[in-house]
A = this chain, B = another copy of it.
Amino acid sequence: MTTSTPPAVPEAVLAPALDRLVAALGTDAVLTDEEQLKEFRDPFTFAEWADHRGAAVVMPETVEQVQEVVRIANEFGVPLWTSSQGRNNAYGGAAPRLSGSIQVSLRRMNRILEVDEELGYAVVEPGVSFFELYEHFRANGHRLWPQLPDLSWGSVVGNTLDHGVGTGRPGQHPDRACGMEVVLGNGEVLRTGMGALPGAETWHTYQRGFGPALDPLFMQSNFGIVTKMGVWCMPEPEVYQLCLVTTERQDAVPELVDTIRPFVLDGTIPSGLAITRATDSSKLVELRDAVFSGQGPSREQVAESLKTRSRSAPWMLRFPLYGSADVVAAQWAQIQQAFAGVEAAVCTARTFAGDRVHEETRNHAEMCAAGVPNNHLWALVELWEGVGGHIDFSPVLPLKGADAARVMSILRPVIEDAGLVYSPTFSIIGRTMFHVVPTFFDTSNEAQTRAAFEQMYPQAIAACAEAGYGLYRTHVHFMDEVMDTYSFNDHVLRRFLETIKDGVDPNGVLSPGKSGIWPRSLRPDRRPGAHA
């Protein structure tokens, strides 16, 4: 990480481009003040580093304004970098790959355009957060549950576009996206899927259309700016049960994985599951409040306790069941029977009437799988007297216990050798496990932050790639390094994607470098900060 990087755009180009943006969108929509820009930087990095800093933030409120922004970018040849809420924390937040980009924040596009309760979907703009979608359902009496990631202040659209995962049904958020409106590289508006048929009745019910389905092409890419998206939501079930399998056994993870697998594959559990250290988020929140009132532990104590937990806290597998009381009881009986064969595994569950979850769920785990938004886990950062940060490292594994054991044996030494604490978690969805490792550090400690970014992360990428485990998502700083690992046939994947990029965004204005995809003018060694 460096304290200065050359800007992507010379001042002589930037200034008139910003003037045009102000003329088109209003003064209020273009932020250039240093204080205002801070919110759109990576919150989890050493404050004096200057990588990944935008030159300005522009905040359109309508599709037409987004089109205008793209047209101006083309005219002046300035790179844009789009975020929705900009809460992609632990992966860089709203920060751009290329310093000097003009950041496009879609926070002000925050309308919920449609809810179809019968068909179980909503249509949202990118600024809509999980909190807002939930509140809208509640205020209007819609008995629908949004599917949530761990923190609810993020954008429904943004989380989906970054291939986010969570609890609820289905656990992979891209799987519940249906039908987009997209502003293309030339400023034109495209509607995907059935939305291309004027007056279509099925834009948000059928995920394909005629010809190839394009929704996936606009995720983790830089081929367009998504301005609307249909999102499928769960109907409120009769019964929701959060099931926990807890064990003190430190070697139990592979057995937990292998025992639950048949119930995932046969569809008994069609939602996200998690294996983590047992944590009650309501206690975390209490602890965080204690820290802020001066009664809590110091950040050194927090770090120490994290270290202890990383070797001795109980493991917990948790997952939701949804349905009628009879069906849920029959499913849970069958699952408990399977875990009866796992030494020292304790099954517990808490059951809620579907319409009571709003009042009765108490902590992050119970709430998230019931679509009740919360930011409890943010306390994990705030506990460090407000200067905590983490960078998430997330390889994808097959749903086999042996792979869980193998990846832990690979990553623990890499992370501990960097003087950091290994905090493994597993998100299971279908045949796949996401091994999400949030490595925490003190962002006011440059050496520690540097150890995370410069030692741990690149070594972890290499070690996992060597073992056949690729990342499903990464920090903006490592997009090239991760794409480098997807190297089959002389990097044909990147070359294919960049061929598409050149066609659909010939001036390369949309989020250059996103997922390692660069426009012709900036690849491969002409881009600022290019790695060797």
Residues of A within 8 A of B (CB): 118-121, 163, 169, 172, 174, 178, 184, 188-192, 194-202, 204-206, 208-221, 223, 232, 234-235, 237, 261-262, 265-268, 270, 322-324, 326-327, 330-331, 333-334, 396-400, 403, 430-432, 465, 467-474, 482-483, 485-489, 492-494, 496-497, 499-500, 502-504, 515-517
Contact = CB atoms under 8 A, between A and B. Distances in A.
Contacts of A265: 119-120, 235
User: Of residues A121, A266, A467, which shows the largest number of chain B Cβ atoms within 10 Å of its Cβ?
Assistant: A266
A215 to B, nearest CB: 8
Contact of A210 (B216, B470, B492, B496): B470
Contact of A485 (B197, B223, B492): B197
Contacts of A191: 488-489, 493
Contacts of A237: 266
A200 B503 CA distance: 30
A267 B322 contact: yes
B330 A334 contact: no
Contacts of A487: 196-198
B397 A201 contact: yes
Given A195-B488, A487-B196, A488-B197, A220 B210 contact: yes
Contacts of A196: 470, 486-488, 492-493
Nearest to A334: B324
A217 B220 contact: no
A221 to B, nearest CB: 4
27 contacts: A169-B267, A174-B208, A184-B492, A190-B496, A194-B396, A196-B487, A197-B470, A197-B488, A201-B403, A202-B470, A205-B398, A205-B430, A206-B472, A209-B472, A209-B486, A210-B483, A210-B486, A211-B486, A212-B515, A214-B493, A216-B216, A217-B217, A266-B323, A267-B270, A267-B323, A327-B330, A502-B503
A261 B198 contact: no
Contacts of A121: 431
Count this chain's copies in the assembly.
2
A349 B469 CA distance: 45
Given A206-B396, A211-B220, A517-B211, A188 B492 contact: yes
A232 B431 CA distance: 9
B268 A323 contact: yes
A190 B492 contact: yes
Contacts of A120: 265, 431
A500 B503 contact: yes
A490 B219 CA distance: 24
Contact of A118 (B195, B400, B474, B516): B400
Nearest to A471: B210
